[in-house]
Amino acid sequence: MSAYDLTTTANVKAWLGLPSPPGASDATLSGLVTAASRAIYAALSRPSILPQTYADTIDLEGERVYLNNWPVAQVTSVLLDGLVVPPVGALPSLGWLLQPGDFAPPGRPQALDIFGRRIQRRRQTLVVSYLAGYRVFQESAPVPSGASHQVAVQAPFGPWASDLGVSYASSGLALQPVSGAPAQGQYAVAGGVYRFNAADAGAALFVSYGFVPQDLVQAATELAAERFRAADHIGLSSKSLGGQETINYIAAAISAPVMALIAPYKRTAF
């Protein structure tokens, strides 16, 4: 399984109506999940949708540019002709200003405006480093007093996909991630379920995490299932049944229903 997979083998098995326990087709389905995810990324012209850092080198032709990846969580640096451009202050007289992103996916590419600099049209003159990807930031997560001391994320737009940290709501102090049993001030996470030590019971926490939008999960699930079923008719575009009925098979690399699901996430040229 790849960290960039947009769905799971379990999702595909459920869509196909296959039994959920491990079976002979699991390895094939796992490979198809990764292949379907990569095909969707290619169709979207996006390297990832989970939070990660990027550095766009941009041909500057005016005071407004659009960043290649979204939603943007943070701009870390802007260099114009090798010189640092600061964020704008109280007045937009000098610096950069990021267009706010949308609250819910799919969102849209965000503009970065440059103020107070004379813009000359030159190639590769602007370099913007930033963090972008779908995430839930500082979701409230009080630790229950029950025996498990576990918190499942709310995941309002799609399933949990990556951990981006936990902090105490009162102090902002970060908890330390661990792979085993957590001590006080530590946490462990698997599949969007966060485990804490009994000493942190009742503590108010903030949890941040990356997620896959549910429509992309569904698109990858359907595409992987389509490719699995296509093995039954490799090389066939249609089949006649006794001269009374003809079955036509979808020949497109990505079917129209899947394309409709992913279209709002596609990156386009500006």
**1 has pLDDT over 90:** no
Closest C-alpha to 155, from 216, 204, 212, 103: 212
Give mean pLDDT, residues 141-162. 93
Burial of 188 by CB count in 10 Å (0-12 exposed, 13-18 middle, 19+ buried)?
middle
Beta bridge partners of 87: 96
DSSP 155-194: -SSS-EEEEEEEEETTT-PBPEE-SSS--TTEEEEETTEE
What are the b/e assignments for 9-21, b being 16+ CB within 10 Å? bebbbebeebeee
pLDDT number for residue 243: 57
Full 3-state SS string of 210-249? EECCHHHHHHHHHHHHHHHHHHHHCCCCEEEECCCEEEEC
Give mean pLDDT, residues 53-61. 92
Q: Where are the domains of the chain?
A: 9-48+214-265, 52-132, 135-211
pLDDT number for residue 63: 87
pLDDT number for residue 140: 96
pLDDT number for residue 72: 97
Give mean pLDDT, residues 243-265. 76
> What size, in residues, is the chain?
270
Among 6-15, 166-175, 178-187, 245-254, name the one with the lowest average pLDDT.
Answer: 245-254
pLDDT number for residue 26: 93
Q: What CA–CA distance (Å, rounded) separates 10 from 21?
A: 9
Task: Report yes or no: 124 and 103 within 8 Å, Cβ to Cβ.
Answer: no
Confidence of residue 235 (pLDDT cuts 50, 70, 90): very low
**Count of C-beta atoms within a 10 Å radius of residue 177:** 14
**Bigger pLDDT: 65 vs 234:** 65
**117 has pLDDT over 90:** no
Confidence of residue 90 (pLDDT cuts 50, 70, 90): low
Beta bridge partners of 211: 160
pLDDT number for residue 234: 54
Average pLDDT, whole number, for the chain?
Answer: 89
pLDDT number for residue 254: 86
Burial of 212 by CB count in 10 Å (0-12 exposed, 13-18 middle, 19+ buried)?
buried
Rg (Cα) of the chain, in Å, rounded? 23
- CA 56 from chain centre, in angstroms, equals 18
Task: Report yes or no: 130 and 79 within 8 Å, Cβ to Cβ.
Answer: no
For 160-203, what is each residue's pLDDT tens digit? 999 999 999 999 999 999 999 999 999 999 999 999 999 999 99
Give mean pLDDT, residues 25-32. 94
**233 has pLDDT over 60:** no
Return the sign of the alpha-carbon dihedral for residues 44, 39, 104, 202: negative
pLDDT number for residue 2: 78
pLDDT number for residue 89: 81
Among 100-109, 111-120, 200-209, 222-231, name the one with the lowest average pLDDT.
Answer: 111-120
Confidence of residue 150 (pLDDT cuts 50, 70, 90): very high
